[in-house]
Amino acid sequence: MAKYRKLGRTSSQRKALLRNQVTALLYRGRIITTEAKAKEVQKIAEGLIALAVKEKDNFETVKVSAKVPVKDKDGKRVKEVVDGKKVTKFDTVEKEIKKDMPSRLHARRQMLKVLNPVKEVPAAKAGRKKNTKVVDMPAKLFDDIAPKYVSRKGGYTRIVKVGQRKGDGAMEVVLELV
């Protein structure tokens, strides 16, 4: 018996497909796909969520001081003249950051092996690159998804059959986070 479904693709295509679908499921919360693909995606996604639940609180907060450029009302950097040269003016800011413990850092890197980078484009300015943000998917797993499932011991996703697809008759399902 095989350990996984081949889905009629080469290994690189299959890996890319599964990575894309797992990322979409964790980012959006639900996807519509075929039953065979959903069962494979479900295995991977549940493993990632279990990893996030296990390492959710394994960090320490550290105070860090950082130099930040001073900006005017238009958002441009303020320059000052020092020894005849224009130099950017900086302020020192204290920040608290989360520092991962070694096991959580390892979990984050394991997640990054599977998850694709996600860019979030605001709806109001969809044509502009200026306001796009890269979403930190491991942080989303640790901070948003894992706290929901702390009391559960598995079964983080659900497959609901929708019906057969019109084109080829493949069984379509909705794969969603519980």
pLDDT one-digit tens code per residue, 39-50: 999 999 999 999
One domain, residues 49 and 123: yes
Confidence of residue 128 (pLDDT cuts 50, 70, 90): low
One domain, residues 78 and 48: no
For the stretch 156-168, pLDDT in tens is 999 999 999 999 9
One domain, residues 42 and 116: yes
Which domain, by its residues, includes 109? 11-58+102-177
- Any bridge partners for residue 100, and if so which? 59
One domain, residues 38 and 107: yes
pLDDT given for residue 114 in this prediction: 97
pLDDT given for residue 73 in this prediction: 87
Least confident of 23-32, 47-56, 84-93, 122-131: 122-131
Residue 86 lies in a domain: yes
One domain, residues 54 and 114: yes
Contacts of 96 (CB under 8 A, 6+ apart): 61, 62, 63, 64
Alpha carbon distance 97, 89 (integer Å)? 24
Distances (CA, A) of 134 to 108, 117, 118, 119, 130: 16, 7, 6, 4, 12
One domain, residues 38 and 116: yes
